[in-house]
Structure 1
Amino acid sequence: MSDSRQGVIACDGFNLQYRIEGEGRPVLVVGSALYYPRCFSGNLRHHLKLAFMDHRGFAPGNACPDKSQYALPLLLNDIERVRSELGLGQVTILGHSGHGFMALEYAKAYPQNVSHVVMLNVAPDYSPAGHAAAERYLDESVCPERKALLAQNMAKLPAAIAAAPDKAFVTYCLLTGPKSWFDPTFDASHLWQGVETNMTMFDHVWGEVFRDIDITRGLDALDRPVFLGLGRHDFLVPPPWRWEAVREKFRDLTIRVFERSSHAPFLEEPALFDAELLGWLNR
């Protein structure tokens, strides 16, 4: 039967929103319980029970400035708390962009509660070398309209962040749209409507934890299949070839690169994305 629930689960003083939609095997989507339900297709909800959850960086009303509260083990514990309280049983854990790291590390920490791992539009790390590769990938691509729009937006970025520093993460995501959407003119503001962010969390986790992460640690013990979905025109994160250095360390890794997508193939090519994901899960 189709499940449709929403609410809040308190984790150490952080109120994590959740939203459950659809029917079928449970997929726990880590990130924002407001943003991500707007991104996945209605068709997918006929096959999967999608449980969207906030992490602490998206928890409404969160003004905590203590970065120790955003340590990765705490974030993983929150995922487990939500999974358990929602009674989801064994789940497919899904993370997009930096949340892909959270999904993989959760599977390592709680393998008994995971059947499959889905990582979307993420690189093996967010190191300086990786970001430099992303800049080269864009610079060497022949896409003058994309580059012109990006330059215009980047000129606006400092003033936009200064005007609303608490919204710096969302502002950055919106103004880097030419890097992250196949259509460089796409306006993603409706996806972010009502989403709150804590910049201490994002600065620490994206700027430090994911910069230094070693995803190969513990991979030898992970026997769950992993699906890695990437976009050919994704210039927001390091390019797909960065995975060559680590792909052989996975026991069971399936990579799919979507040709007419950037940073969100589930929204940009939903029919193809749904077919690839469901086909992989059913295999």
Structure 2
Amino acid sequence: MAESHVVINGVRHWVRVVGDPHVGTPLVVVHGGPGGFIYDFERLTGPALEQLGPVVYYEQRGSGRSDQPSDRGYSIPILVDDLEQLRRHLDLPRIALLGISFGGDLAAEYTVAYPERVDRLILQGTALAGPLTPSTWGSGFEAVATDDEMRTAIRSAVEQSGPHAAWDVVDRETTDRFLFHQPASAKQVRDLWEESGLINTGEMAADLGKQPPRVVPLVDDLAALHIPVLVLVGFWDRNAGVDACRDLTTRLPHARLRVFDDSAHFPNVEETERYIDEIAAFLAARRDPDS
């Protein structure tokens, strides 16, 4: 269980490797946010996931236990290159990727940039439909708000400043109902967030929101590759949205979709046993000989 800091592109990144990454194909977990961290995933899902084979955890620049870049250097290309430099540092010929929420977008971007390095790709709660401006945020928060005052505040914020503004007005209880289906799961994760002492500064999200849009939609580039993809989404996920994840799976010729009936954005917490079973089956499946 080697834990260390690795300097990548001038920024000290937190990295933890469990198992021998040179035995089999290691699974690299890419956290969400943007600007989040992996502390809770390590503790709630990691022990079971690690039984499947070697796992690499890392936190992106400016996130969690990794250092912030001195120049506020946040962009998709640099985040992709950070991951590639990490792969090279660990001397891993090929990797499997598990991208969570925004981490799924980043994992997909890496796959498009380095398809020869990716054995297979898992996208959790990721629709690849523009992670910084999803149209479901306003309606999703309204759906779980329990009083008219909160619903009015959400509606007003979205009308004035767009869907992202909903996050600025919702309280903790509304956020928990938005992200989780089971209150006990929300408490588990909240307790670990507080235990970690880590925060999301918001800087990465702000910078990525200023980046120009892709010339070619990410889903189009990913669809052109012969790489197996597993799409995981909770039935109650109002962040990515079940419909968007279903449609994403339809667009990708080598993708399969798994919907978790009793989960929202984090089926890894709310239905851990089935979550691990689905990933185990996917990692064990033989690849198409043409891929």
Same fold flag (TM > 0.5):
yes
What letter corresponds to residue 16 of structure 1 in structure 2?
Answer: H
How many residue pairs match? The answer is 257
**Residues 121 and 263 in structure 1, CA contact (< 8 A), matched pair in contact too:** yes
CA 1:35–1:43 in 2, change beyond 3 Å: closer, same or farther?
A: closer
- 1:256 paired residue number: 258
Identity, % of aligned positions: 22
Check if 1:121 corresponds to 2:121.
Answer: no
Matches within 5 A, 1:66-105: 66=72, 69-105=73-109
User: Whole-Å Cα distance in 1 between the matches of residues 59 and 152 of structure 2?
Assistant: 28
List gaps (5 residues or longer) in structure 1. 141-145, 156-168
- Measured on the aligned residues, the alpha-carbon RMSD in Å equals 3.3
Matches within 5 A, 1:148-187: 148=146, 176-184=175-183, 186-187=186-187
CA 1:9–1:136 in 2, change beyond 3 Å: closer, same or farther?
A: same
User: Whole-Å Cα distance in 2 between the matches of residues 173 and 51 of structure 1?
Assistant: 33
Instruction: List per-residue Cα deviations over 1:102-121 (Å, max 9, x = no partner).
Output: 01110111111110001101
What letter corresponds to residue 136 of structure 1 in structure 2?
Answer: S
- 1:158 paired residue number: none
- Aligned mate of 2:15, from 7, 12, 18: 18
- 2:156 paired residue number: none
Point out the more displaced range, 52-61 or 238-247.
Answer: 238-247
User: Whole-Å Cα distance in 2 between the matches of residues 61 and 42 of structure 1?
Assistant: 26
- 1:227 paired residue number: 230
Check if 1:214 corresponds to 2:217.
Answer: yes
CA 1:79–1:174 in 2, change beyond 3 Å: closer, same or farther?
A: farther
- Aligned mate of 1:50, from 38, 52, 55: 55
User: Whole-Å Cα distance in 2 between the matches of residues 280 and 109 of structure 1?
Assistant: 22
CA 1:210–1:115 in 2, change beyond 3 Å: closer, same or farther?
A: farther
User: Whole-Å Cα distance in 2 between the matches of residues 136 and 241 of structure 1?
Assistant: 14
User: Whole-Å Cα distance in 2 between the matches of residues 181 and 173 of structure 1?
Assistant: 14
User: Whole-Å Cα distance in 1 between the matches of residues 212 and 267 of structure 2?
Assistant: 22
User: Whole-Å Cα distance in 1 between the matches of residues 131 and 84 of structure 2?
Assistant: 27
User: Whole-Å Cα distance in 2 between the matches of residues 173 and 228 of structure 1?
Assistant: 29
CA 1:244–1:45 in 2, change beyond 3 Å: closer, same or farther?
A: closer
**Residues 26 and 49 in structure 1, CA contact (< 8 A), matched pair in contact too:** yes
**Residues 6 and 17 in structure 1, CA contact (< 8 A), matched pair in contact too:** yes
CA 1:71–1:222 in 2, change beyond 3 Å: closer, same or farther?
A: same
Q: SS in structure 2 opposite 1:55?
A: coil
Q: Scaled by the length of structure 1, what TM-score is found? A: 0.78
User: Whole-Å Cα distance in 2 between the matches of residues 117 and 107 of structure 1?
Assistant: 8
- 2:249 paired residue number: 247
User: Whole-Å Cα distance in 2 between the matches of residues 137 and 86 of structure 1?
Assistant: 40
Query: What stretches of structure 1 move > 6 A for 4+ residues in a row?
Result: 149-155, 210-213
Post-superposition offset of 1:197? 3.6
User: Whole-Å Cα distance in 2 between the matches of residues 201 and 216 of structure 1?
Assistant: 22
CA 1:231–1:154 in 2, change beyond 3 Å: closer, same or farther?
A: farther
Instruction: List per-residue Cα deviations over 1:171-200 (Å, max 9, x = no partner).
Output: 989661110011246223333213244422
Post-superposition offset of 1:154? 11
Check if 1:62 corresponds to 2:68.
Answer: yes
- 1:191 paired residue number: 192
Q: Scaled by the length of structure 2, what TM-score is found? A: 0.76
Q: SS in structure 2 opposite 1:272?
A: helix
Q: SS in structure 2 opposite 1:57?
A: coil
Instruction: List per-residue Cα deviations over 1:77-125 (Å, max 9, x = no partner).
Output: 1001111212333110111011100011101111111100011012232
User: Whole-Å Cα distance in 2 between the matches of residues 15 and 154 of structure 1?
Assistant: 43
**Residues 19 and 51 in structure 1, CA contact (< 8 A), matched pair in contact too:** yes
Instruction: List per-residue Cα deviations over 1:27-51 (Å, max 9, x = no partner).
Output: 0112335343123142221112110
User: Whole-Å Cα distance in 1 between the matches of residues 16 and 151 of structure 2?
Assistant: 33
- Aligned mate of 1:277, from 257, 276, 279: 279
Q: SS in structure 2 opposite 1:51?
A: strand
- 1:30 paired residue number: 30
- Aligned mate of 1:147, from 122, 145, 148: 145
